[in-house]
Amino acid sequence: MRRNALKERDESRREKQDRRCRLNREFFLPETDEVIILDWEDKEGEVYRGSYGREEPQTRCQAVQAENVTVLEGGTAQISCRLQNYDGSIVVIQNPRRQTLFFNGTRALISMQMRQDNKALKDDRFQMVLFTQRLVRITLTNVSVSDEGGYFCQLYTDATHHQVATLSVSVPPETPTVEVKQEAVEGGEAELTCVSPRSKPATTLRWMRNGREIPGVVSQQDNGKTFSVSSTIRIPVERKDNGAALNCEAIHPALSGQKRIRHYRLDVYFAPTVRIVSPTGILREGDSLSLTCSITGNPLPRDILWSKINDTLPERAEISGPTLQISRLSQSHNGTYLCQAQNNYGRAADHYTLLVYDCLAFCAVADPGAVVETHSAVPYAVIGGVLALLVFTVICVLIVTIWCSVRQKGSYLTHEASGLDEHGEVQEAFLNGNDASQGKKEYL
């Protein structure tokens, strides 16, 4: 009877101690230099007290606590298990597939990872770096998203205690790429798609032009543990937009405020334009002519066609790329010359009319090698024409002046004659005889 009573008392004591340990685990506190006293009450109404800190705890129960960790893909993760009141019990660390990695600080084989020859493999990326009575720590190098999950810290005492350390892997995006969905043609629209193929969590994409955001249509695809994100824009384009700068920015929390930027320049296709660059001044016989065909277009035309309207090019004409050269000009070279170019989006042309003047007698060509002083006949011709015009004008003015003067004098004589008739002078002259008549005639 006495033995049974003692046995029941020991069992009751162990049950209470186990209950205290369970409560301690529920209220597990990190290490501290201060003494903390906690009181709690269980369902049966009993009050328990535990102390933590530098003083020896009244209730010595073993416990384990795991710490969550987040790491960048390719980095190194530290998985830590903190121990309380460790007395040398067995500590086991397992991966998310519940495969044992370490057993009391010793590496264990991962039996589930098998080659085709059925030999067990070791994952050398896992290393035990610390095993003390307070802390167990392992490292995992070259972390990938497949390593994500809960790592179990297990402490085997009278009862098995375990905590889970959750490993989260963040995948920063690479520099996004730009895909051209629709060619940009003058007067049309350009359709561009910015793609970030892999990230975790999903990347935020943003189109920018001249410091302003261009709204885009965003699509997101879940690839299991990573995400693929794209942003598509459609913008109207003109010829002036060719070469305009656009930026696609990838924003992600793993980049610590930085951005991954893809620079892109618009490639706008348009028909060519043609302009002939010609020399200034007068061309005379014996001179040389050089015409350059200046062309713009996207794509730039490869072939340039020179021709002469209603005729063939002179024998002495030489074509070098966009340049047409004719040496020793003569009046037979007169005419209209045409430059034409085309690409897949249109064609264009420009013309130049050549007029070669005769050389005057003093422009005779001397022997080869001699220095010949050339004179232009144009200023002399202009001066002669102006002088002839002035002489003609003066003659016309003189003729008109004389004609007006003669006409005015004749009118005056007629008036004098009519005045004599009115005063009877003519009648008096008639009565006085022929002498008066002769005088009148003489007067007239």
* Same domain for 226 and 289: no
What pLDDT, on a 0 to 100 scale, did the predictor assign at position 20?
Answer: 53
Which CATH number belongs to the domain containing residue 277 in this structure? 2.60.40.10
* Same domain for 194 and 249: yes
* Same domain for 274 and 257: no
* Same domain for 316 and 236: no
Mean pLDDT by runs of 10 across the 444 residues of the chain is 50 52 49 50 50 48 88 94 87 90 79 43 84 92 94 85 91 95 91 95 95 94 94 95 95 93 95 94 91 94 92 91 92 94 94 87 43 43 80 90 78 49 44 44 38
Give a yes or no: residue 159 inside a domain.
Answer: yes
pLDDT (tens digit, 9 = 90+) per residue, 169-208?
999 999 999 999 888 999 999 999 999 999 999 999 999 9
* Same domain for 118 and 96: yes
* Same domain for 129 and 94: yes
Query: Residue 54: exposed, middle, or buried by beta-carbon count in 10 A (0-12, 13-18, 19+)?
Result: exposed
β-pair partners for 164:
152
> At residue 384, what is the residue type?
G
The reply to whether the predicted model has a pTM over 0.85 is no
What pLDDT, on a 0 to 100 scale, did the predictor assign at position 41?
Answer: 52
* Same domain for 256 and 211: yes
Distance CA(91)–CA(131), nearest Å, equals 10
The tally of domains found in the chain comes to 4
* Same domain for 181 and 147: no
Give a yes or no: residue 412 inside a domain.
Answer: no
Distance CA(422)–CA(73), nearest Å, equals 136
What pLDDT, on a 0 to 100 scale, did the predictor assign at position 428?
Answer: 46
Give a yes or no: residue 383 inside a domain.
Answer: no
Nearest by Cα to 233 from 198, 195, 271, 263? 195
What pLDDT, on a 0 to 100 scale, did the predictor assign at position 27?
Answer: 45
Give a yes or no: residue 275 inside a domain.
Answer: yes
* Same domain for 255 and 335: no
What pLDDT, on a 0 to 100 scale, did the predictor assign at position 12?
Answer: 55
Distance CA(415)–CA(426), nearest Å, equals 14
* Same domain for 295 and 258: no
Give a yes or no: residue 257 inside a domain.
Answer: yes
Over the range 230-253, which residues count as b (16 or more CB within 10 Å of their CB) and which as e?
A: bbbbebebeeebbebebbbbbebe
Q: In the listed set 170, 194, 209, which residue is the last one of a domain according to the structure? A: 170
pLDDT (tens digit, 9 = 90+) per residue, 215-264?
999 999 999 899 999 999 999 999 999 999 999 999 999 998 899 999 99
Give a yes or no: residue 403 inside a domain.
Answer: no
* Same domain for 166 and 74: yes
For 152, the domain range is: 63-170
Please list, in sequence order, all residues whose beta carbon lies within 8 angstroms of the beta carbon of residue 254, skipping any fewer than 6 positions away.
72, 170, 171, 172
